[in-house]
Structure 1
């Protein structure tokens, strides 16, 4: 049983596991190939969200297979990374932010493991989508390192792979969104359905359309990610050192009504 996992999106090039090996995990939603390794002598599953060659766009990621595979391996706690755009004058390029709420504007992604029939139906509680205990641990790790990390922001998830229009960004701002990205939903929802603690480290890599003075490009995002990558890798390592097995939160009981896992 492996209790901890990292889901890496754009920008985890500075993160390395020792004793790496790739395994295959068959799930009801397809076969995935996560990496197993050690970080600070602690065994960890690394799931590359977009594939090892970054070939899968956000709207085609097999989120259900990825999360199911982690739970099959015994994972109880998940730390994710994500490149995000800022919608707020209080959140600046190059900062690290931990989302605590989300708005879902995806369109075509399966959102649940429980689709009726023998699977049952689960109306999972999302009052606190991102585990507060896990977020507090990341803040503690950032304090040890002397990093500034903002704890709490509303993340709006869009379908992608295109960037958003300025009109969409203005709408999201009026709804209270502070960050924009393309991957957190349904990942965070599926983790909650399977009783796992889940938190995201958002790397602010750009200002959204209509806020930035120039058109958005993927190259700009990748340049910003490269600058943030070293600090994020250190933050991941420090957080993993602080992890413990217990789940002193409500995450583990989220699917109690269907009695799975």
Structure 2
């Protein structure tokens, strides 16, 4: 049976309902992961959980040790990864509280350690990243969202920015021209690193605010946190359906 890892983003620093078996502190060749890996049973299945930003939430998107996180999860036995990401909505359909299962990603981040294939190598490796998300894992998320009755989109382009600041309205306008539907700060290099480790990977994105210039109101952390309170509960229910 496949052992799934869940990477929790903003608002999901712990997985309610997880029956704890073990907490593993893993050192990697790339340093320490964001947090200890929580091993247990969720929805009747073996699950590994990792808080991307630490627990409590303390690591900014550009400072997450993505390499250590993915390496540690695979070392702990992960065979597939579901990432939960809080994002901003660019496309008109992506309103607050809407879910998206992206099918593509554009990377606007910079300066991050983004590959395992670096340093003193025997040979250069180029992964095929034409389709960054695993098709079967995406389909399972889509079926679970349908069953849960969530408002969602079964495809979309995730634009990954550097953070930790939010984007300007002009940057969002450019991203929209590029074809982005949602914007976040943690989608890359996480997805590419999973592919390098041959781990099936998919993203469950929750829209927690309209992107810059997409609403008249100022984007506030209070509004984002309110959207997270409701949305993360639904995300947990969706994850339970995927695993069960």
Question: Shorter-chain TM-score: which interval?
Answer: over 0.9
Report the Cα distance in structure 2 between the residues aligned to 1:223 and 1:237, rounded to whole angstroms.
22
| Residue in 2 that maps onto 1:148 | 151
Alignment of 1:124-139 (within 5 A): 124-139=127-142
Cα deviation, 1:63-107, whole Å, max 9, x if unaligned, reads 000000111122111111011101111221111101111111101
| Residue in 1 that maps onto 2:8 | 8
Alignment of 1:218-233 (within 5 A): 218-233=221-236
Report the CA distance shift for 1:65/1:90 in structure 2 as closer, same or farther (over 3 A). same
Partners of 2:156 and 2:181 within 8 A in 1: yes
Cα deviation, 1:149-169, whole Å, max 9, x if unaligned, reads 311100100000000001101
- Deviation (angstroms), 1:119: 5.9
- Deviation (angstroms), 1:11: 2.0
Comparing 59-68 with 223-232, greater Cα deviation is found at: 223-232
| Residue in 2 that maps onto 1:252 | none
Report the Cα distance in structure 2 between the residues aligned to 1:143 and 1:89, rounded to whole angstroms.
20
Partners of 1:14 and 1:230 within 8 A in 2: no
Partners of 2:40 and 2:46 within 8 A in 1: yes
Partners of 2:158 and 2:184 within 8 A in 1: yes
Report the Cα distance in structure 2 between the residues aligned to 1:175 and 1:164, rounded to whole angstroms.
15
Report the Cα distance in structure 1 between the residues aligned to 2:214 and 2:152, rounded to whole angstroms.
22
Report the CA distance shift for 1:145/1:30 in structure 2 as closer, same or farther (over 3 A). same
1:114 corresponds to 2:120: no
Partners of 1:18 and 1:38 within 8 A in 2: yes
- Deviation (angstroms), 1:58: 0.4
| Residue in 1 that maps onto 2:216 | 213
| Residue in 2 that maps onto 1:162 | 165
TM-score by length of 1: 0.88
Match of 1:195, SS?
Answer: coil
- Deviation (angstroms), 1:20: 4.4
Report the Cα distance in structure 2 between the residues aligned to 1:219 and 1:124, rounded to whole angstroms.
40
Cα deviation, 1:7-27, whole Å, max 9, x if unaligned, reads 001122563311243211121
Report the CA distance shift for 1:26/1:92 in structure 2 as closer, same or farther (over 3 A). same
Match of 1:144, SS?
Answer: helix
Partners of 1:93 and 1:204 within 8 A in 2: yes
Match of 1:27, SS?
Answer: coil
| Residue in 1 that maps onto 2:70 | 67
TM-score by length of 2: 0.94
Aligned length: 241
- Deviation (angstroms), 1:125: 1.1
